[in-house]
Amino acid sequence: MAAVQDGPMELDAEKEAKPEILSDGTSNLSGNTASGTLSSSPLTAAPAGGAPKMEDQQTLIAVLQFLKRNKLSESVEILRREAGLGEHQEGSQATDGSGGGKGDGDGGDANSLLSRVSITSAAAPQSMPVKKDQPDVSVVLSAYSQQGDPPLYQVYYSGLKNFIESVLDCHRAELSQLFYPLFVHMYLELVYNNHETEAKAFFDKFSGDQECYYQDDLHILCGLTKKEHLKGNEVLLDFRTSRFVLHISRDSYQLLKRHLQERHNNQIWNIIQEHLYIDIFDGMPRSKSQIDSMSGSLAGEAKREVNKAKVFYGLLKEPEIEVPLDDEDDEAENEEGKPKKKKTKKDSLGSKSKKQDPNAPQQNRIPLPELKDSDKLDKIMYMKESTKRIRLGPENLPSICFYTFLNAFQGLTAVDFTDDSSLLAGGFADSTVRVWSVTPKKLRKVKSAGELNVIEKESDDVLERIMDEKTASESKILHGHSGPVYGVSFSPDRNYLLSSSEDGTVRLWSLQTFTCLVGYKGHNYPVWDTHFSPFGYYFVSGGHDRVARLWATDHYQPLRIFAGHLADVTCTRFHPNSNYVATGSTDRTVRLWDVLNANCVRILTGHKGPIHSLAFSPNGKFLASGSTDGRVLLWDIGHGLMIGELKGHTDTIYALKFSRDGEILASGSMDNTVRLWDSMKAFDEVETDDFTATTGHIHLPDNSQELLLGMYHSKSTPVTHLHFTRRNLLLAAGAYNSQ
Amino acid sequence: LHTQTDLTIVKMTEREERRFAEVPRESIKLMAESSGVELSEEVAALLAEDVCYRLREATQNSSQFMRHAKRRKLSVEDLNRALRWSNTETICGYGAQDALPFRPLKEGELFFVEDREINLVELALATNIPKGCAETMVRVHVSYLDGKGNLEPQGTVPTAVQSLSEDLLKYYQQITRAILGEDPHLMKVALLDLQSNSKIAALLPYFVYVISGVKSVSHDLDQLNRLLHMVKSLVQNPYLYLGSYVRSLVSSVMYCILEPLAASINPLNDHWTLRDYAALLLSHIFWTHGDLVSGLYHQILLSLQKVLSDPVRPLCSHYGAVVGLHALGWKAVERVLYPHLPAYWANLQAVLDDYSVSNAQVKADGHKVYGAILVAVERLLKMKALSLTLAAEGSGAGLPGTTTGAVGFRENSPGLSPPPEPLSEPPLGIASHLQAGGAGCPWEEWTPVSLPAMYCELYSFFGDSLAVRFSTGPPLGGATPPGPCQPLEGRKEPASSAPNLENTRKMPQLTASMNISPRRDGSPRSPLSSSSRPGRSTSQSRDIFPKARFPLPQAGPPAFSFIIGGRQMGRRCQGRRFQTSFTPTPPLTTHPPRAYAHKLPVIGRVSKPVRRWTCSHYSLHLPL
């Protein structure tokens, strides 16, 4: 809480004084509910900042009442004498004075205040010397009475607005960040206190001032006019209880604080204290564009300290595998005149396997499953394939193969390819999952147990013999879910398939028997996405319940729960080293979670819409995220900073994928296009040393057009999934949309 | 809370400060009453607001399901899911994929989802069980090689239909072969099947594609005719949802109507009949499927207008435009042809006045156009008069609601290929207002012209040939109707038309089977009186205007009265008489009488008389 520590002494005093009065007010509240007379009076007086007579008197009366209640009769006498107040006067105004506190009943605000109150009741008399501290008390009291003054909210807000608009340009942009959270909290407070008409007026007056990227939230807000509505709306409840984080430079903050103190604008100050977290940094104030690029999420920016944790983004050491056949094959390649490729391959693979990357996590930080023979075979295949990989670059763009789903009347909702591009799975809105074989090899089931018993287990072709030739077909349908399937993911060994569905379950399917093996229940709400770990065994899922869960295939309960998102977790991805999980959410943040301890290690803000796609770069250093606003953001995981913004898509980006070597980022969208971006250039242009500078704020070059390498249209097929084959051929998939 | 059902009676109120729909408290009260609860005003207001909020919340929640289903269109299913997850009852019965027509009720500012009743018995006993939709499948093609270019240019046929079953493919081949082949009997069978087969939805794009081949066979009238028949069969098939293919079909038909087909180079080819048939088909498509494509009516009118106003186009194109407009109904004629007539007339006149031998063919075409225009404007006049009467009588006792639908008539103009079925204008009067307004954009800069003024203007063009055709009453003496095969006008050019050259205003000269004796001067003073002559069959008597011997019955406003006869009209085919009266309009008198106009020969013939005839000597008879 940088802001509070930073606060000067008088503020502390203020805070001490405040609670006592509040306790007074709230205790009075029980007796008095109606108060029309007073609430209107400060309307004219208070905003001016001065303390006019009327208010003074109320203050005195309130203090008197407080003293009386605490049985400090002597002080009462003294005060009364000195102020020249008659007993009757006090009585006549008593209702008014306390009635002003009506608004104090507002939920979280009052409660948290009250909790602080309890400790200070003993200290009350000391801080009450009325004569000495007159201004302070009146400030507190006026704030307290004004809290129930709905019409004043507009005055407060516009007062702050005028102030911010009048400050120097460099501060204005920073302080403007306050508008939106203040606006929302003030509006919610009005709604919470049943000042419906005032709330409407307030909304109408100031909603137009808010940044355009908050429009979606404002739409939700403007529908809220009743306290009862607040109860059911979890997103807004979160907004109320969590703190909106702002980054403001020290200078700007001081400016704001001075202003608020001068104006005795305690209403706003309270909100800042209660609901906002101002992360103060030393150095130059940020520019408008810098701020805009980072803001937009539901709860403001990320606190800097959150992103300080060390992330081991390096890749794990490749297991040593003897490749007896490999050499022969490579020899053949060599003769064909491609020695270069072999060299690069050896470099990349060789160095990786020998030296430990300093940024890589310990090999056994997360227990990983041991490699089976079949996995080793697959690795060998992978290496062979990768020697034939085409090196992509701006001059050498990939070919694109489009897998079009025809007659998908039931609605294609999710697609996944296996890593070796041999299988294709589609999740559909009619609750089915369909698996296709992309290669000529047909899909076959394993024979039944009885038939399996007959097979000679020692024979060489036992793996072939266990398959039931009668069941061979190009595609298989998996029935089991009872709601649209929103996410599918193949296991790396191609033996399993995961699917997550609206019915709240994640299901594990065997691709040997084409049956459901496990139904993982835990989300209880729609599960929007699921993803297998690159090493298998673990998988992650995220859903409407706003948490992501880490599972292991052999546990029916989650191993970790990643909680923190303020809204639905819409997409989940494993880091290539399997130690981290990235989640994107409707709250417009991307979070990175440590699988080891379920801690949130990165909060990445800057998206202006729900995030629907994520992709890690193959080297594990970078993350790309795409959202409904059609922008792709690039993140440096090590520093937790945004390093690029790719603008161009006109609709939600549902698919992101880096090429096998990470030179090219492909993005696929609802706007029926695939775009290719020069990710190498995007990463290179950012000097990572810049980040280490204290501010950590970088200026993003607006170079989307330079980075865009190509744009490829499909006729009427939104791109749902993208995949690079091991040889860097780009596969895209989507359902033909006849409309 | 059954808030969902409120959707049907949501009244859209746009208040200044809020921009979303609200359920008015009246609706809430109504709902409450329907379930037997009385609500006070305040409770209803509170409830209305809460209902609004809950609806908005549900909608906002449902958008999440839409986004995750990777769709742009919010479906009822999305909303149901949102409701289900907020523990609310879901809405049943709205899960259809098609858009639900949301209709306004003019009087009450009420909007509702049209909910047609389904005859379950029919459905249950139906023998045509719809075939399940095609199998979901994946097709792959290399879209871009090395990031360059599209290898496979996608054809006009959507990819989704590339998966046809063997049977369908066979069916398609057989049908197309039969229709385009030589055997007329086979063609008939194929067309009949095309008309009634319920399982050919998947083939529709193929057929549409075949039909779009009209452009390549414009030299072959026979093939064009066959293709048009194919269109007709498709249009009449009740199981086919044409959707946006209507546009393609219309463009093919329009091609036949408007284009100067290669076949028309040879004057022996009767491309006129083809155009007539195509025009008829166009109107049929439009009236039955026009609602599938918004703005279709407007587009058709525009393209017809474009052709009509283009003097470079050959006369056969103009002819097509005129018959097209005629087929689209008298409203179209009134809006497009009528305002264009003065400009067009000059061109036509020039053609018709050229007597050189080299022009003979063109002139013959000109007469065709003339005849078509005449038929069109005649019907315009008749229908306008009828609509005025209908409007005047309203839904009075004399006019049962069904009459509008039943009124249809047939032009029995021999050269113009009479419509084979009496459907040339199913919705009339008010109904056609609605149709035109719903299907197309409002026609700007168009102001209705009053009937008398219109008549006067048309009369100035056509003279008595208009009047004669207009008075189509049967002979009182029960004369035998003339045979339908009147001599074709325009084919031969009689010399008799030459003497009329010195007319004050030159009228196109047309051949006719008979001549009309000169009329008394000033006969067109009142077009109504002249037009409302209970004429006799023109071929019967030279004394075609006996009215001249009648004294004008009264000095007051002339009255229109006409009969709609027909099967539905009443027992014993008595017909129904409608009457309307006009106050004489000033322009009538300003027109000088055309001394020679009555000398014009008359083309064509009038319609068949109705057997029984409730008499009125000022009557306009509309035979059915």
Q: Could you tell me if B142 lies within 8 Å of chain A, comparing CB atoms?
A: yes
* Tens-place pLDDT, residues A47-66: 334 444 555 666 777 777 77
The amino acid at residue A131 is K
Q: Is there a contact between A581 and A592 (Cβ–Cβ < 8 Å)?
A: yes
pLDDT at A137 over 90: no
Distance, C-alpha B189 to centroid of its chain: 28
ipTM: 0.75
Which residue of B138, B140, B152, B163 is the best one to mutate when testing the A interface, meaning the one whose CB has the most A CBs within 10 A? Answer: B138
Q: Looking at beta carbons, which residues of chain B come within 8 Å of A401?
A: 140-143
Residue in B86, B146, B160 closest to A406 by CB: B160
Q: Tell me if A628 and B68 make a contact (CB, 8 A cut-off).
A: no
Compare B342 and A730 and report the one with higher pLDDT. Answer: A730
Q: Tell me if B147 and A544 make a contact (CB, 8 A cut-off).
A: no
pLDDT at A9 over 70: no
Q: Looking at beta carbons, which residues of chain A come within 8 Å of B139?
A: 403-404, 406
User: How high is the pLDDT of residue A86?
Assistant: 56
Question: Alpha helices of B74-180 — where are they, by DSSP H?
Answer: 76-85, 120-125, 166-180
Q: Rounded mean pLDDT of A189-193?
A: 82
Q: Is there a contact between A123 and A231 (Cβ–Cβ < 8 Å)?
A: no
| Chain B residue whose CA is closest to A203 | B17
From residue A474, alpha-carbon distances to A422, A437, A463, B186, B266 in Å are 12, 6, 20, 41, 58
Q: Looking at beta carbons, which residues of chain A come within 8 Å of B60?
A: 219-220, 223
User: How high is the pLDDT of residue A698?
Assistant: 63
Domains of chain A: 149-308 (1.25.40.500), 400-439+476-735 (2.130.10.10)
* Tens-place pLDDT, residues B51-64: 888 888 888 889 88
Q: Is there a contact between A58 and A38 (Cβ–Cβ < 8 Å)?
A: yes
User: How high is the pLDDT of residue A229?
Assistant: 79
User: How high is the pLDDT of residue A687?
Assistant: 59
Q: DSSP letter at A396?
A: B
Q: Tell me if B64 and A475 make a contact (CB, 8 A cut-off).
A: no
Q: How does the average pLDDT of chain B come out, rounded?
A: 65
User: How high is the pLDDT of residue A340?
Assistant: 42
Q: How does the average pLDDT of chain A come out, rounded?
A: 77
Q: Tell me if B70 and A406 make a contact (CB, 8 A cut-off).
A: no
Q: Tell me if B53 and A400 make a contact (CB, 8 A cut-off).
A: no
Q: Is there a contact between B319 and B326 (Cβ–Cβ < 8 Å)?
A: no
pLDDT at A318 over 70: yes
Residue in B68, B134, B139 closest to A404 by CB: B139
Compare A692 and B546 and report the one with higher pLDDT. Answer: A692
Q: Residues of chain A with pLDDT > 90: what percent?
A: 27
Which residue of B55, B88, B136 is the best one to mutate when testing the A interface, meaning the one whose CB has the most A CBs within 10 A? Answer: B136
| Chain A residue whose CA is closest to B69 | A413
Q: Which of residues 502-521 of B touch A (CB under 8 A)?
A: none
Q: Looking at beta carbons, which residues of chain B come within 8 Å of A399?
A: 142, 144-147
Q: Rounded mean pLDDT of B158-183?
A: 73
Q: Looking at beta carbons, which residues of chain B come within 8 Å of A223?
A: 20, 52-53, 56-57, 60
Q: Rounded mean pLDDT of A89-114?
A: 41
Q: Rounded mean pLDDT of A659-680?
A: 91
pLDDT at A450 over 70: yes
pLDDT at A464 over 90: no
Q: Rounded mean pLDDT of A722-738?
A: 89
Q: Rounded mean pLDDT of A651-679?
A: 92
Q: Rounded mean pLDDT of B147-164?
A: 46
| Chain A residue whose CA is closest to B156 | A715
Q: Rounded mean pLDDT of A704-715?
A: 84
HSE (side-chain half, CA atoms, 13 Å) at B44: 16
Q: Could you tell me if B134 lies within 8 Å of chain A, comparing CB atoms?
A: yes
Assign residue A588 a region (left: φ > 0; alpha: ψ between -120 and 50; beta: otherwise).
Answer: left
Length of chain B: 624
Q: Could you tell me if B241 lies within 8 Å of chain A, comparing CB atoms?
A: no
User: How high is the pLDDT of residue A482?
Assistant: 93
* Residue corresponding to tokens 């005719």: B225
| Chain A residue whose CA is closest to B80 | A483
Q: How far is A404 from chain B (nearest CA, A)?
A: 5
Q: Is there a contact between B569 and B575 (Cβ–Cβ < 8 Å)?
A: yes
Q: How far is B72 from chain A (nearest CA, A)?
A: 8
Q: Could you tell me if B133 lies within 8 Å of chain A, comparing CB atoms?
A: yes
| Chain A residue whose CA is closest to B68 | A486
User: How high is the pLDDT of residue A100?
Assistant: 38
Q: How far is A413 from chain B (nearest CA, A)?
A: 5
Q: Looking at beta carbons, which residues of chain B come within 8 Å of A736?
A: 158-160
The residues with which B149 forms a beta bridge, in sequence order, are: none
Q: Tell me if B85 and A407 make a contact (CB, 8 A cut-off).
A: no
Q: Looking at beta carbons, which residues of chain B come within 8 Å of A739?
A: 73
Compare B99 and A489 and report the one with higher pLDDT. Answer: A489
Q: How far is B21 from chain A (nearest CA, A)?
A: 11
Instruction: Lowest mean pLDDT of A282-286, A721-725, B388-392, name the range.
Output: B388-392
User: How high is the pLDDT of residue A435?
Assistant: 94
Instruction: Lowest mean pLDDT of A672-676, A709-713, B467-471, B541-545, name the range.
Output: B541-545
Q: Tell me if A428 and B162 make a contact (CB, 8 A cut-off).
A: no
- A 10 A CB-CB count for A524 gives 11
Q: Tell me if A403 and B158 make a contact (CB, 8 A cut-off).
A: no
Q: Is there a contact between B155 and A724 (Cβ–Cβ < 8 Å)?
A: no
Q: Which of residues 29-68 of B touch A (CB under 8 A)?
A: 49-50, 52-53, 56-57, 60, 64-65, 67-68
Q: Model confidence at B403, in pLDDT bands (50, 70, 90)? A: very low
Q: Rounded mean pLDDT of B381-387?
A: 81
Q: Tell me if A526 and B163 make a contact (CB, 8 A cut-off).
A: no
Give the N- to C-terminal CA distance of chain A in Å, as an integer.
54
Q: Is A615 helix (H, G, I), strand (E, B) or coil?
A: strand
Q: Tell me if A223 and B145 make a contact (CB, 8 A cut-off).
A: no
Q: Is there a contact between B458 and B466 (Cβ–Cβ < 8 Å)?
A: yes
Q: Looking at beta carbons, which residues of chain A come within 8 Å of B159?
A: 404, 406, 715, 736
User: How high is the pLDDT of residue A432?
Assistant: 93
Residue in A397, A429, A738 closest to B158 by CB: A738
* Tens-place pLDDT, residues A399-448: 888 898 888 877 899 999 999 889 999 999 989 999 999 888 889 998 88
Contacts of A246 (CB under 8 A, 6+ apart): A177, A178, A181, A276, A277, A278, A279, A300, A301
Q: How far is A405 from chain B (nearest CA, A)?
A: 4
The amino acid at residue A649 is H
Phi and psi torsions of A79, nearest 5°: -60, -45
Length of chain A: 739
Q: Looking at beta carbons, which residues of chain B come within 8 Å of A627?
A: none
**Closest-CA residue to A309 (of A592, A5, A622, A643):** A592
Q: Looking at beta carbons, which residues of chain A come within 8 Å of B52?
A: 223
pLDDT at B413 over 60: no
Compare B245 and B552 and report the one with higher pLDDT. Answer: B245
A403 vs A426: CA distance, rounded Å: 11
Compare B565 and B253 and report the one with higher pLDDT. Answer: B253
A512 vs A497: CA distance, rounded Å: 10
* Tens-place pLDDT, residues B537-592: 334 434 443 343 444 444 444 444 444 433 333 344 344 444 444 444 444 444 44
Q: Looking at beta carbons, which residues of chain B come within 8 Å of A715?
A: 154, 159
Q: Residues of chain B with pLDDT > 70: what percent?
A: 56
Q: Looking at beta carbons, which residues of chain B come within 8 Å of A546?
A: none
* Tens-place pLDDT, residues A503-524: 999 999 999 999 999 999 998 8
Token representation of residue A516: 């459901």
Instruction: Lowest mean pLDDT of A161-165, A723-727, B470-474, name the range.
Output: B470-474
Q: Tell me if A400 and B144 make a contact (CB, 8 A cut-off).
A: yes
The pTM (predicted TM-score) of the whole model is 0.57
Q: Which of A257-261, B211-215, B533-537 has the highest mean pLDDT?
A: A257-261
Q: Rounded mean pLDDT of B260-275?
A: 79
Q: Which of residues 67-106 of B touch A (CB under 8 A)?
A: 67-73, 77, 81, 85-86, 97
Q: Tell me if B146 and A399 make a contact (CB, 8 A cut-off).
A: yes
* Residue corresponding to tokens 């000195």: A82
* Tens-place pLDDT, residues A628-650: 989 999 998 988 888 888 999 99
Q: Rounded mean pLDDT of A470-498?
A: 92
User: How high is the pLDDT of residue A640?
Assistant: 85
Q: Model confidence at A148, in pLDDT bands (50, 70, 90)? A: low
Q: Rounded mean pLDDT of A132-138?
A: 40
SS3 content of chain A, % helix, strand, coil (to 5): 40, 25, 35
User: How high is the pLDDT of residue B424?
Assistant: 37
Q: Could you write out the three-class secondary structure of B76-107?
A: HHHHHHHHHHCCCCCCCCCCCCCCCCEEEECC
